[in-house]
Structure 1
Amino acid sequence: MKRFAALLLLLLSAFCSAGEKSQRATAEKLLRVNGTEQILKKTHEKIEQIIANQLIQLQVPPEKKAVIDQFTRRIREVLAAEVNWSTLTPPIIDAYINTYSEKTMKEATRFFASKAGQEILKHQPQMRETTIKAVQHVTEQFMPRLKQLQQEMLITIDAQDAQYSAAR
């Protein structure tokens, strides 16, 4: 009986391991199709630009430019070594596996590989920017009303405090 239980556990762990490998492969394929790798490359470029701007703001004298160049190279090397596809993919894949079923990831991969999916991905940065601007605009419109409601709330609280104090 113990041998049977051990064999069953061994088979179950092998099955689970194969299932996880399949899920990881499916998630990685989805990441490649949905443009995640390109997003990471653009993020890298933005980080490098931020670093370059920060270095410019240091206003280091021209005679120290060699030091700045040396550290810029080192920063780029560290960035390339530590923030890249191979270091970021595992946690992103884990997030996908923990969020989506393998079936959903396969369907999403098929969609993003399609012409319509590629069109959506192509325009996603513009849509994100447009959406952010729309939300900011609506929020700005809402702020005066929010401030008015906050003032009304404070007046109501003060009135209740005055009534409570008068009742004592």
Structure 2
Amino acid sequence: MRKVLMIIIAALSLSGPAVANTAQRDTVEALLIASGADSALDAVYAQFDGMFANMAEQFKIEESERASFNKHMQKVNLMLQEEMNWDTLKEPMIDLYLAHYTEQELQDMLAFYQSETGQSVVKKMPEVMAASMQVTQQLMKDVYPKIMQMSKAYSEELKKQRAAD
């Protein structure tokens, strides 16, 4: 009887953290869904079209090669959707959130993203991010030549230093 009681106590003590872990995982999953992480992949796949167009330019795809290139890019897109979908990303993302946020932080974030303001943020964030990218790209157009000039000057300085050694 004593052994049975010890086994039951041990089993109950082991199941407590497992239940808490499951509850935390459920909280993070709800947070990811409320924050739109699951549907954000759709936006990523939509961006692939622009990337594919840039690749066509880089590869200098001719009109006669366009159909073959498009067919190849469709295969790439399909493979990405199969390999990098919500089902494959969900568990690692949950683990990531659990490793970096406390239970209270997770609960607070979930409450925010389930609120009207949080949902407004989720809906507007793709536009905000796209506009942010445009601003960054515009700024980089002005900064890039300066970086290149600095790099060229450093390269010349490095050549002189090596020649002196």
Report the TM-score when normalising by structure 2.
0.66
Partner of 2:132: 129
Distance 1:55 1:86 in 2: 30
Shift of residue 32, structure 1, vs aligned partner: 1.0
Q: SS of 2:61's equivalent?
A: coil
Shift of residue 50, structure 1, vs aligned partner: 1.1
Partner of 2:59: 58
8 Å contact from structure 2 (residues 48, 77) kept in 1:
no
Give, as a single letter, the amino acid of the residue that structure 2 aligns with 1:65. R
Give the structure with higher Rg (CA).
Answer: 1
Partner of 1:21: 22
Shift of residue 81, structure 1, vs aligned partner: 0.2
Give, as a single letter, the amino acid of the residue that structure 2 aligns with 1:129. S
Shift of residue 94, structure 1, vs aligned partner: 0.8
Distance 1:77 1:120 in 2: 30
Give, as a single letter, the amino acid of the residue that structure 1 aligns with 2:118. G
Distance 1:73 1:89 in 2: 24
Identify the range of structure 1 (85-94 vs 36-45) with the bigger mean alpha-carbon deviation: 36-45
Gaps (5+ residues) in structure 2?
151-165
8 Å contact from structure 2 (residues 35, 113) kept in 1:
yes
Shift of residue 82, structure 1, vs aligned partner: 0.8
Matched ranges for 1:1-168 at <5 A:
5-125=6-126, 126=128, 129=132
Report the TM-score when normalising by structure 1.
0.65
Identify the range of structure 1 (121-130 vs 17-26) with the bigger mean alpha-carbon deviation: 121-130
Distance 1:120 1:65 in 2: 39
Following TM superposition, the consecutive aligned residue runs of length 4 or more in structure 1 with deviations greater than 6 angstroms are: none
Shift of residue 78, structure 1, vs aligned partner: 0.3
Shift of residue 61, structure 1, vs aligned partner: 3.1
Pairwise CA RMSD: 3.1
Q: SS of 1:60's equivalent?
A: coil
Distance 1:2 1:73 in 2: 62
The number of residues matched between the two structures is 137
Q: Percent identity?
A: 24
Gaps (5+ residues) in structure 1?
148-168
Give, as a single letter, the amino acid of the residue that structure 1 aligns with 2:117. A
Q: SS of 1:59's equivalent?
A: coil
Shift of residue 28, structure 1, vs aligned partner: 0.8
